[in-house]
Amino acid sequence: MNELFFPSRKRGKSLLAQILNDIRKNDLSTPFFTNSLFADVLPTNDFVPNIEVVRKDKNLTVRAELPGLEKEDFEVKLHEDCLVISGEKKVLKEEGEENGSFYSREISYGSFERSIPIDPEELVENAADQVNAVFNNGILEVKVPIKTTAIEEDKKVKKIEIK
């Protein structure tokens, strides 16, 4: 019989029930997950910041949510063809007993990197010297100066009504 679907006398639960329980608890350290085909596709505790990219007013503005970080915890780099935001969140694991009660604190973050592609021909001359980055209340806002696009130039054109 298949141990995945039928109870194991040794463990008292079916292996499938144990796997589903481990997924719910986000405990993917069992040998099944670390030594299987599923290891690369299962959810992890890795931190991936949400970003917003807006092209407006001769700037490419990128906003990233970085809750719980200080500006020393990450860096921003402008490469030839992309803007890269990278850093690391700390790991906090603590167990103990306090006033006769057991407690467990487990917060895991990990390192992260987000790359936003930029067409090098869109950048203004010496763009790297003009990039502006501000971090406030867990939100990073980076403004990269870009050339006016054809769409923005069309905004300057007045539409004439045809009678």
Mean pLDDT of all residues in 53-78:
91
Whole-number Cα distances in Å, 77 to 63, 69, 96, 101: 14, 17, 41, 47
Q: Across the strands, what pairs with 61?
A: 54, 143
Strands (E), 79-138: 82-89, 92-98, 101-107, 110-117, 132-136
Mean of the per-residue pLDDT values of the chain? 76
CATH topology of domain 51-153: Immunoglobulin-like (2.60.40)
Whether 9 has a pLDDT exceeding 60, the answer reads no
Q: Across the strands, what pairs with 82?
A: 117
Q: What is the pLDDT of residue 81?
A: 87
Domain ranges of the chain: 1-44, 51-153
Mean pLDDT of all residues in 46-74:
89
Whether 68 has a pLDDT exceeding 60, the answer reads yes
Whether 129 has a pLDDT exceeding 80, the answer reads yes
Its pTM surpasses 0.85: no
Highest mean pLDDT among 18-27, 116-125, 138-147: 138-147
pLDDT per residue over 73-89, tens digit each? Answer: 999 999 888 999 999 88
